[in-house]
Amino acid sequence: MKKIFTLLVLSAFATGMFGQMETTIDFEEGLADTAWIVFANGPSGSDADIDVVPNPYPNQVNSSDSVLSFLVRDSADRWVGMYVDVEDYAAAFTEFTEEAHTLAMMVYKDVISPCALKVERSLNSFPDGVWSVYNSNTVTDEWELITFDFSGAIGYYFQRLTMFPHFPETDEGKLWEDLYVYIDNIGVPSEDNTSVKEVEGETMWLYPTPAEFRMAVQYPGMSGITISDIMGRQIRTMKFAVTDSKVIETGDLKTGIYFLTAETADGKVTMRFLKK
């Protein structure tokens, strides 16, 4: 099993995690032989199965210099993944709160399949002991922001975070060949790079903001998107099959303030964003 982390991540966990984490795990500071431990990656698994590498697709929504590469072996179990523990309980953890109970991460892979985040080893007697949240990417060969709602664990502390990069529902969904999954920016979405809006119990996300070349839009049941300028003039209109996530091009927009309207069967939702 391999242990891997970044120096920045150590700082992130030292300042607080799960609801109050101030720094996203962004894999920008190289390797340190500590923290992440890989499991269930089959008999052919090796120390090279996870690594921090240059972002292979930096012109997509994710412009980070470095990302985590995870090689899921064709012999891996469905629950292949990696976990990290923090031993300094008092300093490292706070609770999921009403205000901050969503974790997010960027994912790039060439198949559509569920990912999962799990918290476990509760420090204040969480009734079920662990809490897992599953969410699937909706596009292939593109960076996508995937969010995980941990509202069921509000008020509890946990010692372990586990990440599953490819977790099909049944054994029939397992791979028959090796799969590379790229992961980045694990943590609580930041006000510095993500816009969030709550509408009748649903959440709309725009990432990154300010936008440069591309921007990810998440909202349940979208079938169209309209971009308007600050004067209300429509700049672009897109129609597509119903989806919860869409990546849009923003590179041709001039610097300034715009409004994005997502259309659904239940109505429209509008958010403001900045193009830099």
Q: What is the pLDDT of residues 158-172, one digit of tens each?
A: 888 899 999 988 777
Q: Which range (62-76, 102-116, 181-195, 242-256) has the least confidence?
A: 181-195
- How many Å separate Cα 205 from the centre of its chain? 12
pLDDT of residue 87: 56
pLDDT, average across residues 2-30 = 47
Which of the two residues, 204 and 9, has the higher pLDDT score? 204
Tokens representing residue 18 in the block:
């799960």
Does the pLDDT at position 21 exceed 60? no
Q: For residue 125, which phi and psi values (nearest 5 degrees)?
A: 60, 50
Return the pLDDT at 24: 66
Tell me the mean pLDDT in the region 76-81: 92
CA distance 246 to 84: 31
Tell which wins on pLDDT, 128 or 239: 239
Q: For residue 157, what pLDDT is reported?
A: 82
pLDDT over 50 at 141, yes or no: yes
Give the mean pLDDT of the chain: 81
Average pLDDT over residues 206-224: 87
270 pLDDT band, cuts 50/70/90, is very high
What is the band of 92 on the pLDDT scale with cuts at 50, 70, 90? very low
pLDDT of residue 34: 45
Structural domains in the chain, sorted by start: 3-187 (2.60.120.260), 195-275 (2.60.40.3080)
DSSP, collapsed to helix, strand or coil, labels residue 14 as helix
- Which whole number is the average pLDDT over 259-276? 93
pTM: 0.74
Q: Which amino acid is at 43?
A: P
How much of the chain exceeds pLDDT 90, in percent? 33
Helices within the chain (DSSP H only)? 7-15, 89-92
pLDDT at 209 over 50: yes
Lowest mean pLDDT among 3-7, 135-139, 145-149: 3-7
- Which helix or strand (DSSP H or E) is residue 268 part of? strand 267-275
Instruction: Kindly state the tokens that stand for 37.
Output: 């431990």
Q: Residue 42's pLDDT is what?
A: 92
pLDDT reported for residue 69: 94
Flag whether pLDDT at 4 surpasses 50: no
pLDDT, residue 159, reads 81
**With contact defined as beta carbons under 8 Å apart, do 87 and 127 qualify?**
no
The pLDDT value recorded for residue 86 is 67
For residue 113, which of 63, 61, 57, 179 has the smallest C-alpha distance?
179
Q: What is the per-residue DSSP string for 75-139?
A: T--TT-EEEEE-S-HHHH-----SS--EEEEEEE-SS--EEEEEEEEESS--TTS-EEEEEE-SS
Lowest mean pLDDT among 2-11, 84-93, 95-104, 158-167: 2-11
For the stretch 262-269, contacts whose Cβ atoms lie closer than 8 Å and that sit 24 or more positions apart, written own/partner, are 262/204, 262/217, 262/219, 262/222, 262/224, 262/225, 263/222, 263/223, 263/224, 263/225, 263/226, 264/219, 264/220, 264/221, 264/222, 264/223, 265/221, 265/223, 266/221, 269/197, 269/199, 269/204, 269/219
The helix, strand and coil proportions of the chain, stated in percent and rounded to the nearest 5, come to 10, 50, 45
Provide the pLDDT for residue 9: 38
